[in-house]
Amino acid sequence: MQNSPTGAFRALSSFNYRIWITGTFVSNIGTWMQRVAQDWLVLTQLTHHDASALGLVMALQFLPQFLFLPWIGPAADRFDPRKMIMITQAVLGLLALVLGILTITGHIQLWHVYVFAFLFGSAAAVDAPVRQTFLADLVQEQHLSNAVALNSTSFNAARMVGPAIAGILIAKTGIGWAFVFNGVSFVAVLLSMAGLRGLAPHKSNKTQSKGDFIAGCRYVWQRGDLRINMLMLLIIGTFGLNFPIYISTMAVRIFHSDSQQFGLLSSIMAVGTISGALLAAQREKPAFGSMATSTLLFGVGCALAAISPGYWWFAACLVIIGIAALTFINTSNALMQLTVDRTMRGRVMALRVAVALGGTPIGAPITGWIADHFGPRWGLGVGAVAGFLAAAMALIYLRLHPTSNQ
């Protein structure tokens, strides 16, 4: 009997996972390119630096997480995940190509971007829980936590590459071609999905009904560990993960940085998130205590960033914040996937995505308002409070349920 592989990259021992992560890495580069290009298009071509318009684009992208929540979770449990991913990825690629063509030909208008933001968000809302649950079909259960961490590593590595390519492409050829590149990049995911082999046939649950969503909510509420996990995600996701606001306001209003220095801060943040993902990948299995430690570290990092006396002190704090944030997110994800019933996994992960991302349109304007009226350092203070509050909740839960960390 062969020994199970160990180490930070043990999930790569699976052929299917290697194919999968290669395709998603290429697609993630395109995704980050589109994010940069879309922001630049709205701020510099369709408006005169109108941050409110950009905020509306962001809200429209996250709104479908709530609107379609009663249906996307049960759908993730009912339908073949491989087919669903191929459909959503093809739709996302097509949308990017159409947006690119409109931009290149000069027909793009602000309302077009609003519509596309909602459509992108709708496809992504269906895609996200399916992609997360599909990992369990690609690796052995003991490697699932490692697979989740490596997925985050891939995503954040693309975060370092994609914006740089987008900046060069925009300067040389124009904004529209960044959208086109993103559209073409989805071909990599489709090819990787087609190349998977030996997957078990999907067993559809035909008995599911319109009460599936309520059943999923009831399942989470009846499980204390899932309930506290979701509450921590809600706090951190709503008031802690507003990095664009933190970085931009501190860079411009406190340190008076230029665009290159601002870009460097974003790259340094990516270094921290990649480090956090790699640290999570080295753990054999997730532990609830890691959520308490990481949220406490997140609060400390935000507090130190808020009082940073200079640019490089602030940059160093961003690395700490990045490590803490990714450790918390990956541990939360892995714990849910490993501890829920297989028949409930899609619904639980859909709820998780909605809780983690859906609070941003609420928390970001509040954080921005505080930064505008009281100063950027107080805006970071909101993130610090979120981290400390989430850590306190985790520590209280561990005190009451000490066996949950085993």
Do residue 131 and residue 269 come from a single domain?
A: no
- Residue 366 is assigned to a structural domain of this protein: yes
Do residue 306 and residue 227 come from a single domain?
A: yes
The one-letter code for the residue type at 309 is: P
Do residue 192 and residue 227 come from a single domain?
A: no
Q: Are 386 and 242 in contact (CB under 8 A)?
A: no
- Residue 358 is assigned to a structural domain of this protein: yes
Do residue 170 and residue 313 come from a single domain?
A: no
* pLDDT recorded at residue 2: 46
Among the candidates 196, 223, 246, a domain finishes at 196
- Residue 1 is assigned to a structural domain of this protein: no
* pLDDT recorded at residue 207: 45
Q: How many CB atoms lie within 10 A of CB 111?
A: 9
In terms of pTM, does the model score above 0.75? no
Do residue 186 and residue 251 come from a single domain?
A: no
Among the candidates 196, 218, 247, a domain finishes at 196
Spatial separation of the C-alpha atoms in residues 194 and 196, rounded to whole Å: 6
Structure tokens at 333: 């994800």
Do residue 265 and residue 403 come from a single domain?
A: yes
- Residue 226 is assigned to a structural domain of this protein: yes
Do residue 303 and residue 391 come from a single domain?
A: yes
- Residue 258 is assigned to a structural domain of this protein: yes
Do residue 212 and residue 179 come from a single domain?
A: no
* pLDDT recorded at residue 366: 80
List, run by run, the mean pLDDT of 10-residue segments along the chain (406 residues).
59 86 91 82 75 72 77 71 89 95 93 94 84 78 76 80 78 88 94 82 50 75 87 90 76 72 71 76 75 93 94 92 88 81 75 75 78 84 94 91 66
Do residue 367 and residue 275 come from a single domain?
A: yes
Do residue 50 and residue 154 come from a single domain?
A: yes
Structure tokens at 210: 């319109």
For residue 87, give its domain range: 9-196
* pLDDT recorded at residue 236: 92
Do residue 279 and residue 381 come from a single domain?
A: yes
Spatial separation of the C-alpha atoms in residues 70 and 280, rounded to whole Å: 31
The CA distances from residue 307 to 241, 302, 378, in Å, are: 18, 9, 9
- Structural domain tally of the chain? 2
Spatial separation of the C-alpha atoms in residues 370 and 381, rounded to whole Å: 10
Q: What number of H helices and E strands is found in the chain?
A: 16, 0
- Residue 272 is assigned to a structural domain of this protein: yes
Among the candidates 196, 230, 247, a domain finishes at 196
- Residue 27 is assigned to a structural domain of this protein: yes
Do residue 238 and residue 321 come from a single domain?
A: yes
CATH number for the domain spanning 253: value is 1.20.1250.20
Structure tokens at 217: 């909510």
* pLDDT recorded at residue 405: 58
